[in-house]
Amino acid sequence: MNNNILTGHIDLSSFEPASAQEKEYMVQLRPSTTFFKDGCKRLYKNKVAFVSLIVIVLIIVLSIALPLVWPYSYDRQLGNRPGRPVDPSFNNLRPLEYSLSEQAAIEEGESVFPHLFGTDAAGRDYFIRVVYGTRISLAVGFFASIIVLVIGMTLGSIAGFSGGKVDMVIMRIVDIIYSLPDMLMVILLASVMRESLGPAIDRYAFLRDIGSNIISLFVIFALLYWCSMARLIRGQILSLREQEYVLAAQATGAKSGWIIRKHLIPNCISVIIISTALQIPNAIFTESFLSFLGLGVNAPMPSLGSLASDALNGISSYGYRLAIPAIVISLIVLSLNLFGDGLRDAFDPKLNQ
């Protein structure tokens, strides 16, 4: 717009009053979204969390899909075929090496699927053991978290809704269990459980397949780790009740229920999801820790922790056997943590700027 405004340069019609629409057009309100959509948008923008999510999904998909198509199974000792003499050349193969009989087969023109990570001391394909171990670790982590979620929600809700003596008793128990040094108790219980639960488990074929150690792991988690979830839920319920009274005092009648549902349920759910998402890597870590100490899954079932533990023995010659499960666990736990952090940044209403 030039500086010298002379009458001729201005269109007098510009001085006519502006209509209401023209004024509104100036103000582009940011499109209002629901809490959920807003959070998803923020999560999407967080590249790190997004990449982590992709990594986790990839790992999960691979751990489920690969054992189905892989020619080797995790418990098959390849040198140990029924009816034939034991072939020790299958043992301790380096990545992409072949045993003697396999080499012979190749020379005859057969194609043998390569051992990407070699084989372990018992002649089992290491790659598929790692993949299977990942599956176990993920499954244990996931189910343990679900168990914790269910128990925590139940007890937390009971405490929150009942109030009074029931609430107090439950909270005292929570306090005590919370103060227990969890790892020590876990180790203690783990070392004992498999002995005592053994006979109980053997009765059910389904449970036997899973293995006494994993069952005892679930039992331990159920006993010890539900506390923080219970506290969270109880806290949410208490604040819900407080809001209810406040709103009731304002005599808005039926509207109060709607407001509570609209504002507090998103709060609750996001808190639950975030807490669970951060619990899963914790569970996986505990499981691998126990397996590392020999208290985890039963042989021959592999878990990333037990694979690492077994590999300690041959570490000078077969260092990669320790490094591979170590890296995989780190990747899983790291991605889950980053994703959980991203979830929290996106959905935690308290952290909103």
Partner 1 sequence: MSLLEVTDLHTSFFTDAGEVKAVNGVSFFLDRGKVLGIVGESGSGKSVTAYSILQILAPTGRIVSGSIKLDGQELVGAGEKVMQDVRGNRISIIFQDPMTSLNPTYTIGHQLMEAIMLHTNRNKRQAWDRAVEMLRLVNINEPEKRMKQYPFEHSGGMRQRIMIAMALACEPDILIADEPTTALDVTIQAQILELMQDLQKKLGMAIIMITHDLGVIAQLCDEVVVMYAGSYCERGTADEVFYNPKHEYTKGLLRSIPTLDTVGQRLKPIIGTPIDLLNLPKGCPFAPRCDAAMKICVREAPKSQDINEFHKASCWMNVKALVEAQAALEEQPAAPDEAPEPAAAPAAIAEGGDDE
Partner 2 sequence: MDSKTLRYIVKRIILAIVTLWAVITITFFVMHAVPGGPFTREKAISAEAQASLEAKYGLDKPLFEQYTTYLNDALHGNFGPSIKQRGRMVTDVIIDGMRTSAKIGLIALVIATSFGILFGAVAALRRNTLLDKVIMVMTTAFVSMPSFIMGSLLLIVVCVTLKLLPANGASEGGLILPVITLALYPMAYITRLTRSSMLDVLGQDYIRTAKAKGVSERMIIVKHALKNSLIPVITYFGPQLAYIVTGSLVVEQIFAVPGIGRYFVNSITGRDYTLIMGTTIVLAALIVIMNLVSDILYKIVDPRINLE
Q: Binding to partner 1 by residue 6, rule CB under 8 A?
A: yes
DSSP 75-118: T--TT--TTS---GGGTTPPTT---HHHHHHHHTT------TT-
**179 contributes a contact to partner 2 by CB under 8 A:** yes
- Beta partners for residue 119, in sequence order: 125
CA distances from 136 to 3, 73, 90, 226 (A): 76, 14, 25, 22
> Is residue 13 involved in binding partner 1 (CB under 8 A)?
yes
209 binds partner 2 (CB under 8 A): no
CB under 8 A: which stretch of 26-34, 162-170, 238-246, 326-334 binds partner 2?
326-334
Encoded amino acid at 340, one letter:
G
**Which position among 65, 168, 176, 248 is part of the footprint of partner 2 (CB under 8 A)?**
176
Q: Which residue has the tokens 């878990």?
A: 303
Identify the residue among 134, 288, 303, 306 touching partner 2 (CB under 8 A): 288
Kindly write out the interface string for residues 26-45 of this chain, putting x where it contacts partner 1 by CB under 8 A and - elsewhere.
xxxxx---------------
Residue type, 244: E
Contact between 353 and partner 1 by CB under 8 A: the answer reads: yes
Q: With CB cut-offs between 5 and 8 Å by kind, which of partner 1, partner 2, none does residue 285 bind?
A: partner 2
CB of 123 to partner 2, least distance (A): 23
Judged by CB under 8 A, which stretch of 37-45, 74-82, 90-98, 183-191 contacts partner 2?
183-191
- Of 78 and 322, which has the nearer Cβ to partner 2? 322
Residues 43, 60, 222, 293: which binds partner 2 (CB under 8 A)? 293
How far is 225 from 256, CA to CA, in rounded Å? 35
Residue 316 binding partner 2, by CB under 8 A: yes
Q: Looking up tokens 């107090």, which residue turns up?
A: 168
Contacting residues for 45 by C-beta, under 8 A, at least 6 apart: none
264 CB-side CA count, 13 A: 17
Structure-block tokens of residue 111? 């194609």
The residue within the footprint of partner 2, chosen from 74, 126, 292, 339 (CB under 8 A), is 292
| Residue 294 binding target from partner 2, partner 1, none, CB below 5 to 8 Å by type | partner 2
DSSP for 282-318 reads HHHHHHHHHHHTT-SSPTTS--HHHHHHHHTTTTTT-
Site string for partner 2, 16-45 (x = CB under 8 A): ------------------------------
Question: Residues interacting with partner 1, by CB under 8 A?
Answer: 1, 3-7, 10, 12-18, 22-30, 353
